[in-house]
Homo-oligomer: A and B are copies of this chain.
């Protein structure tokens, strides 16, 4: 294999852990990734050496915490090729980023009769916030998928209208693995003068993403899916749009001057960051980006593809294994069902083999209904996964059949 997963595994302390006396085969990185020592140490070092509340005073620790926080922002800006670090807002996770856009962009700018164009493969994070707009008469429209799990671009072209004010699409589906042609979708959206939002939660951890190249207006992603700590995420936005937006969270740090009844907002990006910032999260995300950059996002993508090809070969041999699509998409995400066994029971029996996979609705209930499924099992791969782990997965699935007498 091109990428030496065994070597990387050594950096992840959790892989020393045994479950049911077997080495952990963590095949659920699309939910959340494991953390390398480098990220854990960065957090530890921050609290042991530099911790202070940034921006607030001028003693040495405060100066250091401020620099650490703002340097992390610069690193993120470079990682996704943003024009300026002003365009990087630290948030909790992708969900929060979408809420900022729903509350501070959509609620301020959309009116009755306007439309928001989404796709049927969206994660709840990119559906539920927009439903808020319905009470003011904004309509949500959902582009369907083709039979091979790709997005129906023709339909998208038909559904977009002069009333479509926002087009918000996932870059990569967490269920199908589909990588959407967001550059093309962005072109269509902008030709239509719609704001174009990309849910990057699955793409940014697993492939190179360049906001200048995509020309998206907003991009949201979560640190915890890309080796970083929980509770740090990013909302990228073009600065001219962010400048015009109302803030979302209000309070300290996002202001320049507070009078009893009015307030002058702070400059970008701080206008959108209220209260004590998450320096720890930023430090951890920064270390995660260093790690990913050293490995190389293209290498990671290739590795996941190799594992996907190997897995489909191996799993297709198992009785009752039904992938959601016939394995045409090889992007590190394999969603499937086992005939006669519910995905929950599949996941439970696999745990006996220390194999961790996701089961359930994947926070994509509309897509599940579209697929005619109530539940699904998903194995997802990352830089630290190996073919041996896929062998163990296969072994576990045989046991599933045995228990359920399939």
Contacts and interface: CB of A to CB of B under 8 A. Distances in A.
Interface of A: 13-14, 17, 19-20, 24, 26, 28, 31-32, 34-35, 39-40, 43-44, 47-49, 51-53, 56-62, 92-96, 98-99, 102-103, 123-125, 127-129, 131-132, 134, 140, 142, 222, 224, 229-232, 248-255, 257-263, 274-281, 344, 347-348, 350-351, 354-360, 363, 365-366
Given A28-B57, A40-B47, A230-B276, A99 B251 contact: yes
30 contacts: A13-B47, A13-B49, A14-B47, A14-B51, A19-B60, A24-B61, A28-B53, A31-B53, A31-B276, A32-B53, A32-B276, A56-B360, A57-B358, A59-B357, A93-B275, A95-B276, A96-B249, A96-B275, A99-B248, A99-B251, A125-B252, A125-B275, A127-B260, A128-B252, A131-B263, A134-B261, A222-B275, A231-B231, A252-B363, A259-B366
A192 to B, nearest CB: 22
B278 A365 contact: no
Task: Enumerate the 4 nearest inter-chain pairs by beta-carbon distance, A residue then B residue, closest first.
Answer: A95-B275, A95-B251, A231-B278, A13-B48
A93 B276 contact: yes
Given A129-B250, A230-B276, A356 B95 contact: no
A97 B142 CA distance: 33
How many of these chains are in the complex? 2
B274 A95 contact: yes
B359 A57 contact: yes
A258 B365 contact: yes
Contacts of A351: 58-60
Contacts of A61: 19, 24, 26, 356
B366 A222 contact: no
Given A14-B49, A251-B95, A363-B252, A230 B277 contact: yes
Contacts of A95: 249-253, 274-276
Contacts of A224: 53, 276
Contacts of A20: 60
Given A35-B51, A99-B274, 9 more contacts: A56-B358, A58-B351, A123-B252, A124-B252, A125-B274, A128-B251, A128-B258, A142-B260, A222-B276
